Structure 1
Amino acid sequence: MSIPKTPDPGLLVISILGSDWGAFWPELGSELEQTFGPADEVSRLFDFTETDYYDEELGTPIRRRLVSFETLRPLDELADIKTFTNTLEIRWGTAGKRLFNLDPGFLTMQSLVLATGKNFSHRIYLKDGIWADLTLMWQKKRWVDFPWTFPDYAGEDMKTRLTKLRQSYKTKLSRP
């Protein structure tokens, strides 16, 4: 018999995609910090070129920023976090288009799990129309992707960034 145990909290990481950063940043960052607490890491902008999926809605060129937060959070908050980020996308949008795309997820010692509103065969339903997407797995001291992992998360640049965040997370877990 397995004995249920509360898992370690996760490192909240939000990927932000957008082309017109001057229209929403740093105000969006401040709003995220009001909700989730102080940011721990805020990456520089880097190019998002793996797909043109968002081009029509967000404009081009699309750039990405990763933001992680100081406070570790219970993993069962993921659906509520995605619901909140969806409301931000809608509120900041204009003329039926979003200014940015927010992809929240939890990084743990074992994996990166993103939240999504889209079902697919490998995704696990959480609640309120939100699914958990096992995006990457940590195995043998490196990130391992899956056939369904989005190309931008499967790339070495992203894995290097996530490895740095994982080390920061590991340090936080070891603090009393």
Structure 2
Amino acid sequence: MSHPQPSLPAKPIASIFGRREESIEEALRALKKVLGPVILKSSWLPFDLTNYYQPEFGSGLKRLFVAFAGFLAQEDLPRLKHRTYEQEMLLSVAGRRQVNIDPGYLLPERLVLATFKNYSHRIYLSQGVYADLTLIFERGSYRPLPWTYPDYVRDGIPFFNKVRQLYVEELKKEGLWPLKA
């Protein structure tokens, strides 16, 4: 029989993409004010596996994956999604976003993104926000699911495997790892 237990504190992460590196860096500075220092940042990655955002942003998009120090309560994901949406609107020019910020969190067993878009595999949280189960950890690495975005497979999995190592070390320091059943 299972019993109620508190949720494990999550590792806050974000994906930020846009055309101009300066706009992405500005969004990152704003995120640091909310989530704290960065513990790991990817290199500049091409955002070139979809043209879905081309009408809004144009071509030649770049992306950063970022992980932050400290923890995020899993139930705070809707609030974080709204904060990042506000930042996207603040950085908009003439009604057009300059950056797209996708916040989420990482746990030892999964990576979850926040989205305003409903779909069959997304679970409603609150405040118009859905949880998108993006990657699961098994056999020593994060693995994609049928709906995982291709760039999270190509570029994300290596990055998030590194973040997981840092996160587990933080959990050990806090006495939260290994998990107790």
Q: Is TM > 0.5 for Structure 1 vs Structure 2?
A: yes
Over 6 Å off, 4+ runs: none
Aligned position for 1:5: 5
Aligned position for 2:170: 172
User: Structure 1 residues 56 and 67 mapped into 2: Cα distance closer, same or farther (>3 Å)?
Assistant: same
Q: 1:163 aligns with which of 146, 161, 164?
A: 161
Q: Matches of 2:61 and 2:50 in 1, distance apart? A: 10
- Counterpart contact for 2:14–2:67, Cα < 8 Å: yes
Aligned position for 2:131: 132
Q: Matches of 1:113 and 1:129 in 2, distance apart? A: 16
SS of match in other structure, 1:26 = helix
Q: Which runs of 5+ in 1 are unaligned?
A: none
**What's the CA shift for 1:29?**
2.1
Alignment of 1:55-134 (within 5 A): 55-134=54-133
Cα deviation code 1:1-59 (max 9, x no counterpart): 4211112111111000111122x243322211111111111222111111011122122
Aligned position for 1:46: 45
SS of match in other structure, 1:17 = strand
Q: Matches of 2:111 and 2:129 in 1, distance apart? A: 16
Q: Percent identity?
A: 37
Q: How many residues align?
A: 174
Aligned residues: CA RMSD: 1.2
- Counterpart contact for 2:18–2:24, Cα < 8 Å: no
